[in-house]
């Protein structure tokens, strides 16, 4: 069986037309990393280039979560640098091929198409699923509920390797719960970004605008409070919540912008199982009104403020 397949490929190669490789075309094909090397006659080099890019890109994403902003910028650029290096290598491979290069079986158009579709429909989604489900994922913010720490149109990096703790900003996924109450059903995609204020065993009480944890006033430089008007229920001077004890395997969470009441004041305690991960950094931020990036927020850390 194996010998028959090999003979078939040999026959195809013998029939292959002489076709010098075009370096610029090899570089263009590298928009699908590795395909340029395949075109240039280096099939296994192309496979190795693609696999290396995938591994290095995800390692860079993991490293990005734990590095200072200055180094994070370099790691952020790693996938783009990798694609550029692979494209340059494809150009070099095609340039050094002889003018008498005879097309191989893997230089046929239908093979290129199959490779592209295989990567697009199987390998890429599989990698995204394995890494995005267990290691890191991105989340696009669509509200100002966490201002001024997180802005609307920020793209956050959600770290799934770090266990959540008090002070962390986390992504909550209510779809992981068995039941959804009326409030959570109106949340877009059933996901929210909120800050952990208290952990299991802590006592939480809110009197007016003053938050107390375990009987002590909590200093919150990150919080944006209202003017105490009765029209703003959650910032009104007469507002009172608790005291309540945070149960096991749950957290008490609040919006940084306290006028947004869709947090533990309404939703109750958030189960640990409903936490998708910790928001570690701003990946990039888009200024929708100006139609430009907020470059100063790129790779910005989201530690305790």
Whichever domain contains 148, its CATH number is 2.10.109.10
Residues 105 and 198 in one domain: no
Is residue 57 located within the same domain as residue 157? no
Mark whether 125 and 204 lie in a shared domain.
no
Cα–Cα distance for residue pair 111/125, rounded to 1 Å: 20
Q: What angle do CA 113, 117, 121 make, to 5 degrees?
A: 175
Same domain (yes/no): 146, 276: yes
E-assigned strands of 8-153?
136-140
Asked if residue 248 and residue 109 are part of one domain, the reply reads no
For residue 207, what are the β-bridge partners? Answer: 210, 240
Same domain, yes or no: 220 and 278: yes
Residue 238 and residue 119 share a domain? no
Question: Which among 134, 157, 176 is the end of a domain?
Answer: 134
How many other C-beta atoms lie within 10 A of the C-beta of residue 238?
9
Which of 134, 158, 173 is the last residue before a domain boundary?
Answer: 134
Same domain, 46 and 120: yes
Calpha distance 284→159 (Å, rounded):
15
CB 93 within 8 A of CB 104: no
Closest CA to 254 of 242, 246, 243, 262: 262
Could you say which of 134, 149, 170 is where a domain stops? Answer: 134
Co-location of 115 and 143 in the same domain: no
Residues 12 and 45 in one domain: yes
HSE of 249 in the Cβ direction (CA atoms, 13 Å)? 3
Of 232, 235, 253, 236, give the one whose Cα is nearest residue 244. Answer: 253
Q: Rounded CA gap, 36 and 45, in Å?
A: 10
* Geometric angle at alpha carbon 162, from 159 and 167, rounded to 5°: 95
Same domain, 104 and 168: no
Among 79, 61, 140, 135, smallest CA distance to 299 is for 61
Q: Are residues 103 and 143 in the same domain?
A: no
CA gap 56, 60 in Å, rounded: 6
pTM higher than 0.85, yes or no?
no
Residues of the chain whose pLDDT is less than 70?
Answer: 1-16, 69-70, 124, 127-133, 176-189, 227-233, 235-237, 288-291, 303-305
Q: Where are the beta strands (DSSP E) in the chain?
A: 136-140, 154-159, 169-173, 191-198, 203-207, 210-213, 216-217, 240-245, 250-254, 270-271, 275-287, 292-293, 300-301
- The structural domain count of the chain equals 2
Q: What pLDDT is recorded for position 238? A: 75
- Which residue, chain included where needed, has tokens 């910005």? 300
Cβ count within 10 A of residue 135? 16
Which structural domain, as residue segments, surrounds residue 59? 2-134
Number of H helices, E strands in the chain: 9, 13
Could you tell me if 27 and 104 are in contact, meaning their C-beta atoms sit under 8 angstroms apart? no
CB crowding 52-78: b at 16 or more within 10 Å, else e: ebbeebbebbbebbebebeebeebbeb
Longest Cα–Cα distance of the chain, Å, equals 87
């Amino acid at each position: 069986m194996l010998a028959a397949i090999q003979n078939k490929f040999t026959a195809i190669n013998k029939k292959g037309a002489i076709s010098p490789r075009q370096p610029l075309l090899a570089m263009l094909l590298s928009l699908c990393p590795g395909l340029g090397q395949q075109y240039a006659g280096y099939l296994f080099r192309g496979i190795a280039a693609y696999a290396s890019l995938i591994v290095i890109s995800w390692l860079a994403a993991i490293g990005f979560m734990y590095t200072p902003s200055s180094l994070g910028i370099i790691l952020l650029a790693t996938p783009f640098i990798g694609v550029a290096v692979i494209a340059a290598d494809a150009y070099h491979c095609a340039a050094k091929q002889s003018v008498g290069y005879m097309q191989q079986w893997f230089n046929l158009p239908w093979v290129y198409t199959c490779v592209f579709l295989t990567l697009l429909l199987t390998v890429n989604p599989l990698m995204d699923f394995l890494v995005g489900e267990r290691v890191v994922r991105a989340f696009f913010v669509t509200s100002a509920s966490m201002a001024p720490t997180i802005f609307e149109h920020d793209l956050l990096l959600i770290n799934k390797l770090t266990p959540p703790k008090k002070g962390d900003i986390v992504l909550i996924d209510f779809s992981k719960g068995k039941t959804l109450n009326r409030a959570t059903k109106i949340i877009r995609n059933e996901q929210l970004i909120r800050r952990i204020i208290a952990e299991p065993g802590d006592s939480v009480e809110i009197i007016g605008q003053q938050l107390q944890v375990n009987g002590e006033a909590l200093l919150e430089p990150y919080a944006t409070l209202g003017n105490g008007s009765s029209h703003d229920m959650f910032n009104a001077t007469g507002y009172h919540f608790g005291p309540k004890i945070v149960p096991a395997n749950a957290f008490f969470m609040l919006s940084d912008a306290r006028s947004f009441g869709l947090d533990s004041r309404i939703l109750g305690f958030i189960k640990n199982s409903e936490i998708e991960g910790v928001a570690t950094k701003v990946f990039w931020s888009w200024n929708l009104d100006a139609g430009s990036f907020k470059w100063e927020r790129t790779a910005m850390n989201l530690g305790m403020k």
